[in-house]
Structure 1
Amino acid sequence: MGQEQNAKHCGNPTPEGRLSFLFRRTDRQLRRCIEKKVNHTGVYQSQHRLLMHLNHHPNCSQVEIARELEISPAAVAVSLKKLESGGYITRETTESDNRTHRVTITPKGRSVIERSEQMFWETEKAMFEGFSEEEMQSLQQFFERIYENLLRDQQKEE
């Protein structure tokens, strides 16, 4: 079945519906590509994002991580616990506040970060192969507008 027929088959007869279907399908394919590449590292895709965020923002709090990655503080806590038990990070309680932990990436974690960054770069390069600079800029602007539209719509609902 062709892409357009497949989109219509999924109950999306409008242009917005077809584009939304293609967006979700592309997102699923990107996730599958990344998951396949990072699967052998022993770290889940969401944990890779967290590790790389920690690498770029070494002294941030769990609340800051949650806000930046747009996930719940509880999800951050669970991921940090799994990363710690896997030997990818260490957490030490700070002297000034027993509730605050200083997170340090271990050599094992650094190795995963280096491999992950390479894998993500390769995936991004493949994803945008054949796109001109102008097309990339247009696509960026479109995604930013889509995001802002969705954010505005969500705020209306709240």
Structure 2
Amino acid sequence: MTTFEDTFFEQLSYACSEAKQAYGQYIGMSQARLQLLTSLSQQSEISHAALQQRLALDGATVTRLVKQFEAEGIVSRRLDPQDNRYTLVTLTPSGQQIVAGLKETHAAFQLRLLEGIPREELETTLRTLQRLRANLRDAQAEEKA
């Protein structure tokens, strides 16, 4: 017999997964490409190694994505002048324009997903998710202790 809790977590998981997939289709970009661009927009310049760690992707995937973006004129790369073992990546002006467009598209997508849901329900859901995340952090802290 399926419990309420089972149903809750199943629906939460499906909602997250489907939203990510739908957004990727909406903008025509994979989640990994989107995450890489978002990370680059938050840093003026970042190393491949830092991108790899931040995105939790293997080095080969980060290198492949960066090379694709470089070929498209979205990013530029250069050797780190302080340690030439590292490659630094930054958004080009074209890449910055793409990220700005993605932010506008993201806002429109969010509005579309939330359409027809009363504000009170959204506020309740937000409080529930915040509490859920706090419980997760507490559980993780207890496991480490």
Query: What is the correspondence of 1:100-115 to structure 2 with a 5 Å cutoff?
Result: 100-115=86-101
> In the superposition, relative to structure 1, how do residues 149 and 86 fare at CA in structure 2: closer, same or farther (>3 Å)?
farther
% identity of equivalent residues:
20
Partner deviation per Cα, 1:101-144 (whole Å, 9 max, x = no partner): 33221233223212211221111112223331x54343233223
The residue aligned with 2:113 is 127
Determine if contact 1:66/1:73 at 8 Å carries over to the other structure.
yes
Query: What is the correspondence of 1:43-122 to structure 2 with a 5 Å cutoff?
Result: 43-69=29-55, 71-72=56-57, 74=59, 75-122=61-108
TM-score, structure 2 length as denominator? 0.75
Determine if contact 1:63/1:73 at 8 Å carries over to the other structure.
no
For the residue of structure 2 that corresponds to 1:32, the secondary structure is helix
For the residue of structure 1 that corresponds to 2:77, the secondary structure is strand
Any gaps of 5 or more consecutive residues in structure 2? none
Any gaps of 5 or more consecutive residues in structure 1? 1-11
Distance 2:80 2:51 in 1: 18
Q: Give the number of equivalent residue pairs.
A: 141
Displacement of 1:47 after TM fit? 1.2
Aligned Cα root-mean-square deviation (Å): 2.8
> In the superposition, relative to structure 1, how do residues 16 and 46 fare at CA in structure 2: closer, same or farther (>3 Å)?
same
Matched residue type, 2:12: F
* 1:26 partnered with 2:7: no
TM-score, structure 1 length as denominator? 0.70
Q: Which has the higher contact order (CA 8 A, sep 6+)?
A: 2
* 1:147 partnered with 2:133: yes
Distance 1:109 1:67 in 2: 21
Displacement of 1:92 after TM fit? 0.5
> In the superposition, relative to structure 1, how do residues 149 and 85 fare at CA in structure 2: closer, same or farther (>3 Å)?
farther
> In the superposition, relative to structure 1, how do residues 93 and 73 fare at CA in structure 2: closer, same or farther (>3 Å)?
same
Matched residue type, 2:22: C
